[in-house]
Amino acid sequence: MKIRFYFVWSHTGKDIYGHEPRLWRASELLDASPEIVRLYNKYLLSALCTDFPSHHPELADDAIDDIAHIERGEIEVAEWGGEGFCHSLTRDTVTFEHAVFGECPEWPIWSCPLSHYKVALLGWRRFIDMPRAIGSELIIELPN
């Protein structure tokens, strides 16, 4: 599976308030079944955008440091609370709980391998440093 980070226009022409279009960061999971794509987009990729915003790259850096501490065995668990999700990182998995609604039918608890989370977060961190341009794109491969 791969993740594609890229830019899209917010809208075409001026909006009803007279605002010009802006470039927004976007991401999508590639090369997976529709259900896997839906879940990764809903949780992991949404969490990257909402919980590690581009105007606060230090938040992603802090989470990357936490992953390194887990991988070295210095800590067992790292908890990360963001605008969209609460992240619970362990040596094997990252569990996501919606930050506003908690566990509910629309937002059940979901998890992915720590290796996927780490690669996605490192990719996101690289992407937010890239030039803000419609042609800027980064594709990363998730480990098996």
Q: Which pTM does this prediction carry?
A: 0.92
How many Å separate Cα 37 from the centre of its chain?
Answer: 13
Main-chain phi, psi angles of 76, to 5 degrees: -90, -40
Give the model confidence (pLDDT) of 62-103 as tens digits. 999 999 999 999 999 999 888 999 999 999 999 999 999 999
Per-residue model confidence (pLDDT) at position 14: 85
> Can you point out the beta strands (E) in 64-127?
78-81, 85-89, 93-98, 110-113
81: tokens are 């609370």
Per-residue model confidence (pLDDT) at position 46: 95
Q: What are the extents of the domains in the chain? A: 34-134
In terms of Cα–Cα distance, which of 10, 94, 82, 11 is closest to 47?
Answer: 82
